[in-house]
Amino acid sequence: MTDSVLGQCGLFEEIQLGNERYNMFTKCDSTKTATLVLRGGAAQYLEETHRSLNDAIMIVRRAIKSHAVVAGGGAIEMELSRYLREYLRNIPGKIQLVINGFAKALETIPRTLSENSGLDSTDILNKLRQKHSQGGEEGIWYGVNVLEGNIDDLMKKFVWEPELVRINVM
């Protein structure tokens, strides 16, 4: 081991995790890499943890590359739904039904988020529609806050998604 590598790290130690022993360099402030040790009771848990970590790392990577984020929690879908419902008032004929159907389909994301987190999805969607209908910058970033069980300005709560991801989803 060269002195330059040891000089960059604050500590070298041997750590025991379960029955395994690992040699680790820690407190390496100037490095640009990290090692994650994944452990679990069964292979399926490890595989799921690995997939989840990979997804999270790729989302952060994409957010850094795109330089633009939007609020998560279905905020964008609710705002698009509101916009389309306003827009369809100016369109005559059966095309209104198509646009209205798409606007309703966009609300599937916040509905599913609320149902999966044990919230009353009808109540949550009504609150979101009301907040988004106020217009302006006040309600644009409101979405489902699954941690607190209500709706919230998720841009202020730091629940963000890369803009590119949302564009690709659309």
Judged against a pLDDT cut of 70, whether residue 79 lies above it is answered with yes
Report the distance separating Cα 150 and Cα 148, nearest Å: 6
pLDDT of residue 7: 55
Please identify which residue in the block is written with the tokens 């402030």: 29
Report the distance separating Cα 110 and Cα 128, nearest Å: 9
Nearest to 145 by CA among 165, 159, 163, 131: 159
Top CATH class, 69-169 = mainly alpha
* Tens of pLDDT, residues 3-57: 455 556 778 888 888 788 888 888 887 777 777 888 778 889 889 999 999 988 8
pLDDT of residue 59: 82
